[in-house]
């Protein structure tokens, strides 16, 4: 055997080059996992491009995922970050939305993994890109929403934050209207000790009281079912602070997403959701959903909309 004296060494161990994030695709091609050299991880299911898990370097999970969530593509995922598009809820835009499923089809379609990128020489983050377009929709969804569109969804894992960014383009000749939402399920220790800041004086629509319009006073706290759509007057840059026992746990900053839905199903609603497990899991989650849902965004031919949230530890 010929002895190779100057064997090339692996790139990651080249002196001067810091170790890079690793990105792996599961054997069954159903999910993408990224891990930073410092140990932070994110897992994205191609069904819905749903972020299933986000852990810090200590392995502490930030998102809630139902133990009964269907991860085989037969249903939208109950937990993580499902992506709502092109309609929020049951839809109220007449003909354009009447055939769409609740919260639209994006969370219930298979997305394509487009690849990863890192800011050059920066080992402290990794961006995963996912795409969905009208061509790759099921026939049923194409029929229900016959517009030509493109969605580019980017998930950026940083040492102390997770950013989810959506770009929506109108690739056809017809204008269309849409709503979108990052339906984030946060894991908490005890919902009765959670408070949310950043909503004081905000108008909101209470979906549990026939869409009555109200005004928030002080922090949001939870003692029963909660389902409201807020439009904080400070705009997207006004951070939302999630506190547990009075201590700041997370800070959410939005970009171009004016509305925030706050949802906790409590006992009765959780009992009625077949994929919600364990049944008392409502104690350990709260949905804080950044989006554009109180009106309709209109995109003319060739136009694009971009919105994002960054969740800081």
Collect all residues with Cβ–Cβ distance below 8 Å to 229 and sequence separation of at least 6.
Answer: 204, 205, 207, 259, 260, 261, 293, 294
Nearer to ligand BG6, 41 or 180 (CB): 180
According to CB under 6 A, which one of 207, 219, 294, 297 is a site residue for ligand BG6?
207
Chain centroid to Cα 291, Å, comes to: 10
Please identify which of the residues 277, 289, 306, 312 carries the catalytic annotation.
289
Whether 93 and 296 have beta carbons less than 8 Å apart is answered as yes
Q: How far is the CB of 82 from ligand BG6 (least distance, A)?
A: 7
Collect all residues with Cβ–Cβ distance below 8 Å to 167 and sequence separation of at least 6.
Answer: 150, 151, 152, 153, 154, 304, 305, 306
CA–CA separation, 223 and 259 (whole Å): 23
Please identify which of the residues 40, 47, 103, 183 carries the catalytic annotation.
183
Nearer to ligand BG6, 40 or 289 (CB): 289
Q: Does 289 bind ligand BG6 (CB under 6 A)?
A: yes
Q: Which residue has the tokens 């997305």?
A: 111
H helical segments located in 156-258: none
According to CB under 6 A, which one of 263, 270, 285, 311 is a site residue for ligand BG6?
263
Q: Is 292 exposed, middle or buried (0-12, 13-18, 19+ CB in 10 A)?
A: buried
Residue 268 host element (H or E): helix 266-272
Nearer to ligand BG6, 274 or 302 (CB): 274
Residues between 160 and 199 with contacts to ligand BG6, criterion CB under 6 A: 183
* Residue 112 bears catalytic tag: no
Q: How far is the CB of 148 from ligand BG6 (least distance, A)?
A: 26
Nearer to ligand BG6, 31 or 103 (CB): 103
Whether 123 and 19 have beta carbons less than 8 Å apart is answered as yes
The CA angle 104-257-201, to the nearest 5 degrees, is 115
Collect all residues with Cβ–Cβ distance below 8 Å to 8 and sequence separation of at least 6.
Answer: none
Task: Name the β-bridge partners of 150.
Answer: 133, 169
Give the count of residues interacting with ligand BG6 (CB under 6 A): 8
Q: How far is the CB of 123 from ligand BG6 (least distance, A)?
A: 36
Residues between 73 and 102 with contacts to ligand BG6, criterion CB under 6 A: 102
Nearer to ligand BG6, 89 or 131 (CB): 89
Nearer to ligand BG6, 12 or 267 (CB): 267
Q: Does 227 bind ligand BG6 (CB under 6 A)?
A: yes
Q: How far is the CB of 297 from ligand BG6 (least distance, A)?
A: 17
Residues between 105 and 124 with contacts to ligand BG6, criterion CB under 6 A: none
φ/ψ (deg, to 5) at 96: -60, -25
* Residue 27 bears catalytic tag: no
Beta strands 83-84 and 176-187 are antiparallel
How long is the chain? 313
Nearer to ligand BG6, 128 or 287 (CB): 287
Tokens of 53: 């898990």
Q: How far is the CB of 56 from ligand BG6 (least distance, A)?
A: 26
Q: Binding marks (x or -) toward ligand BG6, 10..49, rule CB under 6 A?
A: ----------------------------------------
According to CB under 6 A, which one of 47, 62, 103, 187 is a site residue for ligand BG6?
103
Q: List residues near ligand BG6 by CB under 6 A.
A: 102-103, 183, 207, 227, 261, 263, 289
Residues with catalytic roles: 183, 289
């Amino acid at each position: 055997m010929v002895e190779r004296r100057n064997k090339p060494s692996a790139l990651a161990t080249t002196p001067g080059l810091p170790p890079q994030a690793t990105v792996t695709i599961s054997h069954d091609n159903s999910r993408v996992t990224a891990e930073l050299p410092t140990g932070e991880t994110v897992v994205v299911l191609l069904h819905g491009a749903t972020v299933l898990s986000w852990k810090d370097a200590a392995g502490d999970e930030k998102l809630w995922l139902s133990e009964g969530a269907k991860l085989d593509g037969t249903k939208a995922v109950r937990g993580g970050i499902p992506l709502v598009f092109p309609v929020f809820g049951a839809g109220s835009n007449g003909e354009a939305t009447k055939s769409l499923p609740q919260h639209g089809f994006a969370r219930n379609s298979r997305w394509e993994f487009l690849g990863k990128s890192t800011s050059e020489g920066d080992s402290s983050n990794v961006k995963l890109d996912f795409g969905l377009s009208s061509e790759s929709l099921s026939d049923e969804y194409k029929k229900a929403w016959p517009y030509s569109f493109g969605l580019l969804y980017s998930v950026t894992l940083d040492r102390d934050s997770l950013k989810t960014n959506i770009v929506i383009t109108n690739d056809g000749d017809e204008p269309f209207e849409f709503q979108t939402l990052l339906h984030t399920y946060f894991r908490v220790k005890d919902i009765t000790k959670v408070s949310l800041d950043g909503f004081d004086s905000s108008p909101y629509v209470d979906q549990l009281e026939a869409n009555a319009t109200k005004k928030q006073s002080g922090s949001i706290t939870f003692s029963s079912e909660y389902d409201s759509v807020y439009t904080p007057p400070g705009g997207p840059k006004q951070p939302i602070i999630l506190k547990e026992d009075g201590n700041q746990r997370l800070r959410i900053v939005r970009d171009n997403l004016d509305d925030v839905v706050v949802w906790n199903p409590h006992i009765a609603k959780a009992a009625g959701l077949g994929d919600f497990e364990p049944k008392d899991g409502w104690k350990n989650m709260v949905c804080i959903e950044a989006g554009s849902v109180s009106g309709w965004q209109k995109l003319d031919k060739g136009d694009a909309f971009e919105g994002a949230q960054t969740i800081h530890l």
